[in-house]
Structure 1
């Protein structure tokens, strides 16, 4: 006689009802090719994003996910792999996930973008001054920002910049060049802010319409996500999303385009590899949800980008299903406004579609990735980006950091004129870098490069001469 079946989850029913308020289970047995992360918790707005942030911060790939958060309870399942495509076997990593997700319920909800009155500030925990910049992009703008900070005797400890649809967002951590300490003098902070604002507002366009001027937003501002998480990559990337959203990069280029534009609402985007992005919104009248479906090429951090955007637009995700395979991803979200309403107008649906398209595309940067590692010193980033600009290359994305005495700069560059970057010219850098270690990766979609421009002088020689000149000046 067979025994009746009992759902194993019933064994923990009392614990789930009475506490603890969050349970995290790491399962390495159920699936052969991935680790299953299960989260049960009392729900709150923004909890899904906080959980995804923890997994994203560890460079884990989320191949599938199932989310449900009705009746005040959050239940989520993630299928994850490490950055090498393997199951999670490091017990320290597993413990970190359990602790990191388990403590999200104790931190203040970061669902809403925080607003601060102080525009440049000193986060005492990290000892840096944080600056935010956003506005209309133009070729060479990141180089001009780097030069302005060097002129103002600021050392760039870390910086991250995104460029999309003629908009730029940048978050930089700086210190005083002479003392390597945070800058907290109000007068000097005001000068830095004023100078950077002038750089951002400058434009090469002969004229601008009133509408464009209204859309442009320039600001330098400090932000703080919490003392324990200050400076983590996911928090910086979330802030970049928010800054891009604030300057409406989802509206497309504001003038003559120097970057690829976002596709029209609900349409398909194709390139030589058949790339395709489709965002659609349907109504579920029976349950009062709006159903957002996304079909696009898969890539790392995709779920973080879409969940981040919906959360910061003040939508609640009640249910979701995420899957990926064959290089593509499909995401489906059941959402409502914070006040419980579904999306009611076509204009609102169009705006959500455009914002999600922008969130998917703004991280994707096709071009040449140049990684430079050199002894850190004041003005190094300014010199590197200036030489790139003088040779017809513009930085469209940047991740700059210092590791001990070394500066590690990962720059995505494109030809200012819109042509393909001459890879023979870029490769010449590697042969003549001298003290600078250079790695180059072409991330264009298999397009052929232009014929070599033999008349150009060596960028490697230029950078090397910059370092030699600096060393000679400091030796005097």
Structure 2
């Protein structure tokens, strides 16, 4: 067979773009290098992989889940290749010395960075996982809301395996994992699920005003804290925030376009755990791609700078879109600084 015929055969195969992207990633798996000698005060983690939307979030998510603090980061993902360098420390401010922990970090990043992150869901199912049933709530925050939700679940013989509740700008969001109190397995009976949904809807609907309250069962395996960001984003908790623009306690977010290439997002805020994750998570779910970036944290203030474009390849062009991005990033930074409630094995009857 002639070369031209071979080429024609290749181009006429049924492999779609997604399959081709997976093939490229399998041929070029992520490479992670961890170095404890490159910096005097931090462990340096370098990640190289094929570039795809969401790679940065996957890597940051692993570091965040390991309770590592990102002191500095340098991001470059122009073209088809992604390269990040992170300087991290543990919660006590020390380098990571445990070789088992270092090996685990490397394997997690190489595994997670090689696969596509599911996009923001437009709908949810009613199928629980095998271990538990996941309940997602969204509504107006008010005194007594948590107690009423707890009472409903207790009356319905649900055991709360774990839960996390965020409040921001008068809105509340929760992801609650429950099991049947007697079998300690996921609740699958559709009639019982319908009853749980109806009663919880009644609780979160109270005093909701013009905002709709939501109670859904989810079969999603999306990272829980990412889901909370998505729920509050869907609930538009970033709208109508009244605050003094000169307040020293609030984050500062500015946007600037560099010709027609990128929009530069600059953020200054009080440093805290998981700050980088919250920002990158929001940019990713708003369908923006980080091409270059830098993160630097000091004892008090954190500085983040990202060169971004929308997934369609364009920078932010309208004032309305700029304002929306600023509002959403400010909300992402502030949500975790608001009241957050964690529960585990709390309610049993």
TM-score, length of structure 2 as denominator length: 0.88
Q: Is the 8 A contact 2:59 2:113 kept in 1?
A: no
Instruction: Pick one of 210, 223, 240 that aligns with 2:228.
Output: 240
| Residue of structure 1 equivalent to 2:125 | 118
Distance 1:262 1:397 in 2: 21
In structure 2, the partner of 1:306 is 279
Secondary structure of 2:228's partner? helix
Query: Are 2:303 and 1:319 equivalent residues in the alignment?
Result: no
Tell me the C-alpha RMSD between the 2 structures. Answer: 2.1
- Pick the aligned partner of 1:269 from 247, 250, 268: 247
Residue 277 (structure 1) shift: 1.7
- Report the Cα offset of residue 131 of structure 1: 0.5
| CA distance in 2: counterparts of 1:249 and 1:196, whole angstroms | 20
User: Deviation at 1:151?
Assistant: 1.4
2:183 aligns to what SS in structure 1?
Answer: coil
* 2:265 pairs with 1:292: yes
Unpaired runs of 5+ residues, structure 1, are: 1-16, 227-234, 253-260, 366-395, 410-466, 471-476
Secondary structure in structure 1 of the residue aligned to 2:197 = helix
**Is it true that 1:148 corresponds to 2:152 in the alignment?**
yes
- Counterpart position of 1:87: 95
| 2:221 is the alignment partner of 1:225 | yes
**Counterpart for residue 400 of structure 1:** 343
Q: Distance in 1 between matches of 2:149 and 2:41?
A: 45
Tell me, what secondary structure is at the counterpart of 1:219?
Answer: strand
- 2:54 maps to 1:46: yes
Report what 1:345 is aligned to.
318
Which structure has more RCO (C-alpha within 8 Å, separation ≥ 6)? 2
Note if 1:201 corresponds to 2:174: no
The CA distance in 2 between the partners of 1:263 and 1:28, in whole Å, is 43
User: Equivalent of 1:250, from 238, 255, 259?
Assistant: 238
Kindly state the Cα deviation for residue 104 of structure 1 after the two structures are TM-superposed.
1.9
Alignment coverage as a number of residue pairs: 325
Structure 2 residue corresponding to 1:28, chosen from 20, 36, 39 = 36
Deviation at 1:18, TM superposition (A): 11
- Partners of 1:262 and 1:242 lie apart in 2 by 22
Report if the CA contact (8 A) 2:54-2:116 is conserved.
no
Match of 1:192 in 2: 196
Runs of 4+ in 1 over 3 A off after TM superposition: 17-20, 261-264
Instruction: Tell me the SS of whatever aligns to 1:187.
Output: helix
**In structure 2, how many angstroms separate the alpha carbons of the residues matched to 1:152 and 1:245?**
30
Distance in 2 (alpha carbons) for counterparts of 1:243 and 1:223: 15
CA distance in 2, matches of 1:86, 1:72: 34
Q: Is the 8 A contact 1:281 1:291 kept in 2?
A: yes
Q: Provide structure 2 residue ranges, at least 5 long, that are not aligned to the other structure.
A: 1-24
Question: 2:45: which partner in 1?
Answer: 37
Q: Which has the larger radius of gyration?
A: 1
The match for 2:77 is: 69
**Among 239, 258, 278, which residue is 2:252 paired with?**
278
Deviations 1:205-252 (A, max 9, x none): 8xx4xxxx2x434232314227xxxxxxxx111111101111111114
Cα deviation digits, residues 350-406 of structure 1 (max 9, x gap): 0110011011011013xxxxxxxxxxxxxxxxxxxxxxxxxxxxxx4310113xxxx
